[in-house]
Structure 1
Amino acid sequence: MAKKVVKYAVVDAFTDTAFKGNPAVVCWLGDTMKDDKWLQSVATEFNLPMTAYLTPLVDHHSENPRFQIRWFSPVSEFALCGHATLAASHYIFQAGLVKSKTIEFSSLYGILFAKKVSANDGFYIELDFPVVPVLDFNDLDVSAISEILNGATVVDAVKKNAFEDIIVVLGSGEEVADLEPWFDKIKEAPGRAIIITARAPNGSGFDFYSRVFQTR
């Protein structure tokens, strides 16, 4: 039996410059059935932060296109990933796979929406995601987090209780950009990931800087 080709693309999210931003692989499965072991093996082979798999649930040329989306890091499946959803939406719109300006994604975290917004230089994509509750860490050992982050100045820290991500606010955007963490210590940290962020420098053209370090 002839093998079916699986199309894929590498999309750099949050940038308009090649080889910048946050990369994600987008795999178009179509009607090709693949088991979880295959999905994980392919994501491990790509070895990029995230691989998104797309399967149409209805005729994707209909007025209300809906796709199943699943996200795999090189080591495990995730219930939600923002930048890979943005990458998948870009792939769908750019490839002309839908006529509608709105896409629905069925995911482990529920229904997500992406909207194509026309602009003079092409188009933008608006994502509509559910709000993820956070928990304050009043008893969080800030000095331990600072040590994990190689002595970074920790202004605040909270935990996303849905995924146990730790969000750390640093003193400046420059500190976020220049941080060289202890990766071995990050792997020992609890939760799924440590996210560092801070207000972007004046004149940078951005609102904030952010970086993500996966713990598993």
Structure 2
Amino acid sequence: MSSFAEAYTWINFRFLLEGLWVTIEVSLVSIVLSFIIGSFLGIIRYIRAPFISGLFGVVIDLIRNLPLLLLIFFTYFGLPKIGIRMNPLAAAIAAMTVFESAMIAEIVRSGIKAVDTGQMEGARANGLTYWQALRVIVLPQALKKMIPPLVSQFISLIKDTSLATIIVLPELLYRAQIIYGQNTRYMIPMFLALAVMYFAVCYALSLVAARLEKTTG
């Protein structure tokens, strides 16, 4: 028990909180960017625009079937070979945004397809254009269906930020490794602290999503 008391000093706790903030920062920026990009890609795939939808589909399928860790490695170590250099924070955000955008694109496309086709037909029969019907009638209904898988994907994104420790991003896991690297007796206390912090962030997101789902329902 003494190792727990020694591990949870204010200095160590503050060090972990700083790492937690980096984790949250990467997650929030990646979530916002990937939702915007993924929604655009999902809509383009849904409307089946000639050539463009097919091209986007190939790229999305390719990215979805690559390990996120590989994308992080490529962004940080590969892109500098062609003159594109990023610090660990920017590289992590870029890699996670690309990966999550592909995942969200499929969620958006599936969510729109899940809306009964009669909704679009009814809206068009009432004089709305295709894009008006999509924006006003179809997308709001699709969003309700998307909330659970979107939240699940965003929670996975938060947990996947730990992969960025491989490029020395000073996020939560990286800082915990520094602490127990100085004293191996702190390993279990640090793992417990990590579990609590990740759980708190992910659970808070799930509560917000549940509230949003009730509101939109």
TM-score bucket of the superposed structures, by smaller chain = under 0.3
Q: Which has the larger radius of gyration?
A: 2
Q: TM-score, normalised by structure 1?
A: 0.24
The structure with more strand, counted as a fraction of residues: 1
